[in-house]
Chain A
Amino acid sequence: MFVTYLRRELRRRARQASIIALGLALGIGLVITVTALSSGVKNAQGAVLHSLYGLDTDITVTKAPSAGNGGSGTFGFRGAFGTGQRPAPGTKIDVDNLRNVFGYGSLTDANLNAVSKLHDVAAAAGGLMLNDTKITGKIPAINFGGGNGGPAGSGSGGGTFQASLKPSNFTVDGVELASKAAALGPLSNSKLASGRTFSSTDADSNVALVDSGYAKSQKLAVGSTITVAKKSFKVIGIVTTPAATNSSDVYIPLARAQKLAGMAGQVNTIYVAANSAANIDTVSSEISRLLPKATVTNSSDLDKQITGSVASASSLASNLGRWLAVAVLIAAFLLASLLTMSAVSRRVREFGTLKALGWKSRRVIGQVLGEAVVIGIIGGVIGVGLGFLGAALIDNFAKPLTASVGPTTGSATPGGAKTFGGPPGGSFPGGGNSNGSAGRFVQNAESAAHTVTVHLSAPVTAGAIAAAVLLAIAGGLIAGSFGGWRAARLRPAAALARVE
């Protein structure tokens, strides 16, 4: 009787039931879409962080340089000529220096080892980000006179300077080859386009992987040779990295990078994976206690630094989106409740008659609740469909998002701070000032802000669907409760009182 009565009643007021169901569907669909969008934005943020630090990297450890040891801020010729004196005009220049990226201090292998042994650390790997800078040519005869130095190739009379000397630089990343380190660090995001990747036997070999963009610009292929710190390296593979990620131009084994850069036993970044997402903060704290002078950064720190449309989308989803969904859902619940109460009011004689026949109030209320819950479930099913539709629209039509992670005052972010100038000594000839600062060839660190482009998706999770079902049932129960309360208050005498 319950099911028959329920089914017939819903069919009788199909239009009203449809309105209620659609209202609930809109609210639920919006909740699912916003939840999916929030998940998608979180995934996009995760993709941003992973592209910067590697798929499984949860924490990075870096260190600000100590005074006087800031890495290669200037190019300098002291190493080339053995003296800080200006070389004579016509002197041949052939300099190839591999130096620590400016703004990064160094950490030791012992530091790395200690970090890897910490409780809750699943893996730790060291990385050494370097710049290889070359200048070839001849010292020109022209005296520049006056003015400050600037980046190579600039300054008064710059055209002649540029014609005489040919500078170039590229980034080199020393990477660990151990299998445990494979998922850490920026190289873990790369895909092998051709050739092969490193094996453990390459640890002391002059072999290199080259980024596909750099390979194209330098016309390199598998088997080509490149020079790093005046050593020939054979290109064994070309790798591609996701667009605009924090990739280096060249990757060589860490041990080789350490030796060529004169940084034996040193790294400038430690990549750490925690054994569980829940332990990331704990591990971060332990590393900070172990290495008090280091800068320890995890994904939640970087979350705050992300700018760009990813951040805007995140704000939109969590603020406007969430509140809009809640407002629509409340409106839908209210509409459902009002319409249910209205329907009960129109059935006064019917319910009064049933009570006169001996139906208990709770049976009548149960009938009203049952009808309302079924409408709610129908609304929920439609709402889930609308949610999937909304998510699909986002998947297919949303523009790619960009995210930039800006510089910090430390050098925890990739590339460190941008800087100009550097310590005196080794100044370039033809420069103006007696203190040797004029005409100094200065090297910038890598670009301080890294911009990543990610595709925004809106995954509908099982959790979101379960929440939708619960919301649908809740909506039905709330509406049914209002109607049931109205029905409970009916006096059976109302049935006879309606006699004309």
Chain B
Amino acid sequence: MYKLSGVTKDYQKGRNVIAALQGVDLVIEDGEWLAIQGPTGHGKTTLLQMLGGLDRPTRGSVVFGDQSGTDLAQMREARVTKVRAESIGFIFQTFNLVPTLNAQENVEAALVPLGVPAAERRVRAAQALEDMDLADRARHLPSELSGGQQQRVGIARALVKQPRVLLADEPTGNLDEETRDEIIGLLESLWREKNLTLILVTHDSSIAKRAQRVGVMQNGKLSIRQDVH
């Protein structure tokens, strides 16, 4: 699914240059579940941004899919946006739901850039919420939902477009322990059912070890843990 070669990302902070990623090489297979661990500020989120096409590396290539031509680092912004819209689902730590749209409308927002007609959007969003056991919360605003419910709406939003890849950035970071287990369980079952490629960033070892493979970010460098599975 992904092939990262020599991916480096530098940020300019005043006169200093901060190397968020240093020459990361990584291959992620289709249908794989990769967890990325590491302390805060060592490049986990930056790596996820590269995988999601949300940012471009300073150097290196991020080849997405089977064709070598789809280097997210070199594509025009409009093309990257299209790839994101069609193929990549995001789940955020803070849920990132639009506060003025209800649960159903938040899920529909993921289908808008695909040009899906309004009626079809409503049907698909309703189904996605039903899959998350949130059919009865479709008309509720995010402020009227619990943390776990909001995250499930986020997951529904990520999955409604049937993406090839799911990128989850600390999806349980703002949840209590019970809800966290529930969400991780849900993600795991979805990964298995839909044969998704799941890349999950977490600082929680108990979550990371549930993945097929665990990578560790340390000072912008990625190493794969061999003692897992």
Contacts and interface: CB of A to CB of B under 8 A. Distances in A.
Given A357-B110, A357-B113, A5 B100 contact: yes
A497 B46 CA distance: 9
A382 interface: no
B161 to A, nearest CB: 8
Nearest to B109: A357
Interface of B: 45, 48-49, 52, 54-55, 78, 81-82, 84-86, 90, 92-94, 96, 98-101, 105, 108-110, 112-114, 118, 121, 157, 169-170, 173
Contact of A499 (B94, B110, B114): B94
Given A358-B84, A495-B92, A9 B100 contact: yes
A12 B45 contact: no
A1 B169 CA distance: 27
A359 B78 contact: no
Given A358-B110, A496-B54, 13 more contacts: A350-B98, A350-B99, A353-B90, A353-B92, A354-B98, A354-B109, A357-B157, A359-B109, A360-B78, A360-B81, A363-B112, A493-B49, A496-B45
Interface string A202-244: 0000000000000000000000000000000000000000000
Contacts of B85: 357-359
A496 B49 contact: yes
A289 interface: no
A343 to B, nearest CB: 12
14 contacts: A5-B98, A5-B105, A349-B96, A353-B90, A354-B109, A357-B109, A359-B81, A360-B78, A363-B113, A495-B92, A496-B49, A496-B54, A496-B92, A499-B173
Contact of B109 (A1, A12, A349): A1
Interface in A349-386: 349-350, 353-360, 363
A499 B93 contact: yes
A60 to B, nearest CB: 68
A315 B222 CA distance: 77
Interface residues of A, number: 27
Contact of B94 (A354, A358, A363, A500): A500
B91 to A, nearest CB: 11
A220 B92 CA distance: 98
Given A353-B98, A356-B54, A496 B169 contact: yes
Contacts of A360: 78, 81, 113
Contacts of A496: 45, 48-49, 52, 54, 90, 92, 169
Shortest beta-carbon contacts, A-B, top 5: A358-B85, A8-B100, A358-B113, A353-B96, A492-B54
Contacts, number: 90
Contacts of A138: none
Nearest to B53: A492
A359 B100 contact: no
A37 to B, nearest CB: 42
A12 B100 contact: yes
Contacts of B99: 12, 350
Interface of A: 1, 4-5, 8-9, 11-12, 349-350, 353-360, 363, 491-493, 495-500
| Most B-side CB within 10 Å, residue of A9, A349, A493 | A493
Given A357-B157, A496-B45, A499-B173, A4 B101 contact: yes
B114 A358 contact: yes
A499 B169 contact: yes
Nearest to A355: B81
Contact of B101 (A5, A497, A500): A5
Contacts of B110: 357-358
A4 B101 CA distance: 8
Contacts of B54: 356, 491-493, 495-496
Contacts of A497: 45
Contacts of B55: 491-493
Nearest to A11: B100
A500 B173 CA distance: 9
Contacts of A12: 99-100
B105 A1 contact: yes
B104 to A, nearest CB: 11
A357 B109 CA distance: 8
Contacts of A1: 105, 108-109, 112, 118, 121
A353 B86 CA distance: 15
Contacts of A491: 54-55
A356 B52 contact: yes
A496 B112 CA distance: 21
B105 A4 contact: yes
Contacts of B93: 499-500
B94 A356 contact: no
Contacts of A356: 52, 54, 84, 90
A498 B109 contact: no
A237 B101 CA distance: 78
Nearest to A353: B96
B93 to A, nearest CB: 5
A358 B109 CA distance: 9
Contacts of B170: 499
A355 B81 CA distance: 8
Given A4-B105, A493-B54, A359 B113 contact: yes
B46 to A, nearest CB: 8
Contacts of B109: 1, 354, 357, 359
A13 to B, nearest CB: 9
Contacts of A358: 81-82, 84-86, 110, 113-114
Contacts of A8: 100-101
Q: Which of A492, A493, A496, A499 has the most CB of B within 10 A?
A: A496
A358 B173 CA distance: 24
Contacts of A500: 93-94, 173
A498 B45 CA distance: 10
A5 B141 CA distance: 13
A358 to B, nearest CB: 2
